[in-house]
Amino acid sequence: MSTEAEALELDAADPGHRELFDVPPAQGGDYPEVAYFAGNSLGLRPKATRAELLEDLDSWAALGVEGHLDAARPWLPYHELLTGPAARLVGALPSETVVMNTLTVNLHLLMVSFYRPTRSRHRIVIEDSAFPSDSYAVRSQVEFHGYDAEDAVIRLRPRPGENSLRTADVVEQLGGDVALVLLGGVNYLTGELMDIPTITKAGHAAGAIVGWDLAHAAGNVPLALHDWDVDFAAWCSYKYLNSGPGAIAGAFVHERHLGADLPRFEGWWSTDAKTRFEMTPESRPPATADAWQVSNPPIFAMSPVRTSLEIFDKIGIEVLRERSVRLTAYLAGLLAGLEVITPADPARRGAQLSVRVPGAGALSRRLRFEYGVIADSREPDVLRFAPVPLYSTYHDCWRAGAAMAEVTA
């Protein structure tokens, strides 16, 4: 096993950007700060977030309603400050991208447009290990349209004895009765990175619409949604995007659907900004992803997202991915001997390693209170470690490896 000194040498040679973040104090162990591996559940707070949020709050105090136009960052077009950075992060055009709502709300709004079932084509394909909210969302959608969820939702399972889905097995399930493919870009439980371009192409060849839940992919791995011809996608901003609990989410709609005659729920912010204050009863939606907005943006919730996206814009997701591969490989070596259910191939995983171990919940508590290592557990027997390249260190990984060796001995 690597030594502590070796881990510190690696940090000196390959530093991240920990200095940009507030790292919680440890409640146990020998070090003042936690070794934080729960960024796939809730990212750490950037230090700039507090000051920049207070600036927006101060505009409210100083200007009242006039802040819509006169604030340092005017509120009326505020969401446009996030569009460009979000588009660059997910490999999209600005016109295809909008930051709004929360993840599952966005999935429902997008399925209003893109899940259009018929008697002969009404099934939805998801992973059996999809995050529960995705299961709830697709089941409620098929039932809303009058179909039986037990029949209409196809749940993909790995082959017996395997932990991850094979791309070929996914493609094999895309028959002529499939209306929608909706998979997680990175699986929340196993950390498997799906082959998004291959599956998207196969879904289209089968005549289906293909959407992606990028909750665990955005800010974790490079994406090219426009070039991959993805129909739609949605993601949250509180995991790898470090924007705070329940942060405002994002959505993508490919440009070939923009301006098309699609069913869509509309509201105050769905209409063209240039004519919004003409106050007409009919919406005039723009030929951009903004047409899927419903309500005016919550400025103080958007502020932390803007701060976070600036960090990604400055550093670059490709640079972060390179460090992520190195850091995750180092942690994988330290966890050798345990049952890691995440694919071993770095090209098939993000910044996550999931370990199957009995009593995962109890072990997670021991790691936190005895060793100052924070990893989360998923019932019944999985511990998830996310070495986030922005703020995790090789020394954090060494601490996790040493702690796991002791608690599983």
Known binding positions for pyridoxal 5'-phosphate = 103-104, 131-134, 213, 216, 238, 268, 296
| Burial label, 378 (beta-carbon count in 10 A; 0-12, 13-18, 19+) | middle
Q: Is the dihedral of CA 340, 345, 348, 351 positive or negative?
A: positive
Q: Which residues are annotated as a binding site?
A: 103-104, 131-134, 213, 216, 238, 268, 296
Question: For 170-201, b where at least 16 C-beta lie within 10 A, e where not — what string?
Answer: bbebbeebbbbbbbbbbbbbbbbbbbbeebbe
- The answer to whether the CB of 323 falls within 8 A of the CB of 14 is yes
For the record, the structure tokens of 27 come out as: 């409640």
Following DSSP, what letter does each residue of 124-170 receive, concatenated? EEEETT--HHHHHHHHHHHHHTT--HHHHEEEE-PPTT-SS--HHHH
- Phi/psi for 182 (5° steps) reads -135, 100
The continuous run of DSSP H or E covering 234 comes out as strand 232-235
The continuous run of DSSP H or E covering 330 comes out as helix 317-334
Helix/strand/coil for 392: coil
Strands of the sheet with 232-235, listed across from one edge: 97-99, 250-253, 232-235, 209-213, 178-184, 123-127, 153-156
**Nearest residue to 174 (alpha-carbon basis) of 144, 154, 146, 149:** 154
**Nearest residue to 134 (alpha-carbon basis) of 77, 212, 75:** 212
Q: Is the dihedral of CA 215, 171, 352, 87 positive or negative?
A: negative
